[in-house]
Every structure is written in structure tokens, then in C-alpha cells.
Structure 1
Amino acid sequence: MLTLTRKVGESIRIGNDIEIVVKEIRRNQVRIGIIAPRDVPIYREEVYDNLKPEDGDEDPES
């Protein structure tokens, strides 16, 4: 896992099309913004976990 440090207003780029922006930091929460193409699915982890098939072998998007 790559671990990076960012301040409010700073961002991280993933490839050419995805940008993660730190919007706000408050106590133990970080608010982020995600700029990505519409065809890129974005899920919170707890939502993604509920979409996965039980065997865990398939992509929930397929």
C-alpha cells in the first residue's frame, strides 16, 4: 500500500483521469473529493463489500 500525506486543498492523481482532493480535515474524519470519468465506479468500502459475490472471485460490475 502506498501511503501519502496531503494537506487541505492538495490532491493525488491516479493515472491521467482520476484526481483525489482533500477537501476538509476535522477530528478523525477526512472529507475528500473525487474527480473521475463517469464510467469509473466509485464506492465506499462498506457499500462495495455488499456488492461482492460471496465467492469473491468476480468483479461486482460484471
Structure 2
Amino acid sequence: MLVLTRKRGERILIGDDIVVTVMDVKGDSVRIGIEAPSGVRIHRAEVVEAVTQANVAAASEPAGDAAGLADALTRRRPADTD
């Protein structure tokens, strides 16, 4: 891991087309701006981890009662009026 010290307004270049700029520093918080091509995905790590955990939890739950669902849908079908 590369660790850098930067001041407000200073930039970090990643490759040829990604620029990270320190926008503001207040106490323990640092605001950064990221310029990158539109095809580069940028996500906060904690959000990705939360979504991954939610997906794992949803995938591990039982699929449900398919027969019960089919029965419920059949009961909701309007009666034939011939």
C-alpha cells in the first residue's frame, strides 16, 4: 500500500487517466474528488461489502413454497365467464 501525505488542492495521478484531488480536510474527515473515465467503476468499500452480505444472506434463504405460490396465483385468476 502506498501512503501519501497531501494538502488541500493537491492531486494524485493513477495511471494516465485517473486523478484524485484532496478537496477539503476537516478534523478526521477528508473530502476527495475523483476524475476517471466513465467506464471506471468507483464505489465506497463499505457499500460494496453491505450489498455483498445482503446478497449472500438472500441466496442462503429457502426458495419458498413454489406450489403454494402457484395455488395463490390460481385463486386470484378471474373466473371464466363463457
- Higher RCO (CA < 8 A, seq sep 6+): 1
Q: TM-score range by the shorter chain?
A: 0.7 to 0.9
The alignment yields a C-alpha RMSD, in angstroms, of 1.3
**What residue is the counterpart of 2:15 in the other structure?**
15
Aligned residues: 54
Identity, in percent, stands at: 48
1: CA distance, partners of 2:11 / 2:28: 19
The structure where helix makes up a greater share of residues is 2
Shift of 1:37: 0.3
Shift of 1:50: 3.1
TM-score normalised to structure 2 length? 0.60
Larger Rg: 2
The structure where strand makes up a greater share of residues is 1
TM-score normalised to structure 1 length? 0.79
